[in-house]
């Protein structure tokens, strides 16, 4: 894995920094694990635009990812490491000993031909999925469940990881990618290692067209709008927008939007760093 700088043969490549794709071993996905994906363009079922600045983009199919890792004690071999247009991380195709094939989020350092396992008999090695009760303290993990059996919901994007800090009774203490420290049941599964493609944060698109290929349309600054369109619009000349706020008037940049009585508040030991 790494980054690739481009020669400035065009204005779009002058500042472009892209992925090298050196870890990719297959160009076509497994047909049985691919389903069609339809774009909404930010419209709901009645055709009304509910999300702005969405539309277009390259056509892509969805790869079915196994976030549950519920084939316990059945060894699997890593067949390929592939690019997934639906996520920032790379994905790996597993061939299980019983003949089944599944995609997983590829951790950093996973190699083709490597054996992986999930369950109580698995060892704490890269790519193996274990309960938090069986993982050594201080380990780096990703694809962490919040509720047992529901599937991984935490630390799934490129380069993300959480650290297992402590265990006390039925809860484990994890330090999240955001810096938040929280309690999670020790019966929840997590995968050893960090997520692949950690250099994703350093990529530079280089031109507006690449943003359009991703399905993102140009975003209009609120201060450039009229008063009828946004609370921060209007004014003579280059006047500032006053108090930063959203289109419906909710303050931003420092205003807390988290529910005061959210059920998971009691599991948070230390809030995320600002």
- pLDDT digits over 157-168, tens only? 999 999 999 999
- Cβ-contact 54, 166 below 8 angstroms: no
Question: Could you read off the pLDDT of 23-32 as tens digits, one per residue?
Answer: 999 999 999 9
Query: Residue 242's pLDDT is what?
Result: 84
Dist. CA 40–CA 46, nearest whole Å: 11
Low-confidence stretches of the chain (pLDDT beneath 50): none
Pairing of strands 129-131, 189-192: antiparallel
Query: Residue 63's pLDDT is what?
Result: 98
In the chain the domains, ranked by start, together with CATH numbers, are 3-201 (2.40.50.140), 223-268 (4.10.950.10)
Helix/strand/coil for 264: helix
């Amino acid at each position: 894995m790494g980054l690739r700088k481009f020669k400035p043969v065009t204005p779009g490549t002058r500042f472009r920094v892209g992925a090298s794709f050196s870890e990719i071993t297959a160009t076509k996905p497994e047909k049985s694990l691919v389903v069609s994906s339809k774009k909404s363009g930010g419209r709901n079922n009645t055709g009304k635009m509910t999300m702005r600045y969405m539309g277009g983009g390259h056509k892509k199919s969805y790869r079915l990812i196994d976030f549950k890792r519920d084939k316990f004690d059945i060894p699997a071999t890593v067949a390929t490491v592939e690019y997934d247009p639906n996520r920032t991380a790379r994905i790996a195709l597993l061939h299980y000993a019983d003949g089944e094939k599944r995609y997983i989020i590829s951790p950093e350092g996973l190699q083709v031909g490597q054996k992986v396992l999930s369950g109580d008999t698995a060892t704490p090695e890269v790519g193996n999925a274990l309960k938090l009760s069986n993982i050594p303290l201080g380990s780096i993990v990703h694809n962490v469940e919040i509720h047992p059996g529901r599937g991984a919901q935490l630390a799934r994007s490129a380069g993300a990881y959480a650290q297992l800090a402590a265990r006390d009774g039925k809860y484990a203490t994890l330090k999240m990618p955001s810096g938040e420290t929280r309690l999670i049941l020790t019966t929840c599964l997590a995968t050893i290692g960090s997520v692949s493609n950690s250099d994703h944060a350093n990529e530079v698109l280089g031109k507006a067209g690449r943003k359009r290929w991703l399905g993102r349309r140009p975003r209009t600054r609120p201060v450039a709008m009229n008063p009828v369109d946004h609370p921060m619009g209007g004014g003579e000349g280059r006047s500032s927008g006053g108090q930063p706020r959203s289109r419906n008037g909710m303050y931003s940049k420092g205003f807390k939007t988290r529910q005061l009585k959210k059920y998971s508040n009691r599991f948070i030991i230390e809030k995320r760093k600002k």
